[in-house]
Amino acid sequence: MTNESDQDMALAALLAAARDVDTLLPDSFIKASYAIQRRHQFNQDHTVSFHDLVRLVEDHVDQKQGEGS
């Protein structure tokens, strides 16, 4: 099992990779998706995680459309 420090390192690596590839996703989106995966990582039913991620993506798209982007 991983400890909190390892998880923080994983999140830091994801954020660094996102910056390296110049993604248009904000850090808040990456942190939220990471939190969803972390929360459900040991759940055998992947549909919960999937639905949470779909909701996150839909909210992000709706927000961007509202901004006119």
CA dist., res. 46 & res. 37, Å (int)? 10
- Report pLDDT digits (tens) over 32-45: 999 999 999 888 88
The predicted model gives 15-32 an average pLDDT of 93
State mean pLDDT over 11-22.
Answer: 93
The average pLDDT across 37-59 equals: 92
Burial status of residue 65 (CB atoms within 10 A of its CB: 0-12, 13-18, 19 or more) = exposed
> What whole-number percentage of the chain has pLDDT above 90?
64
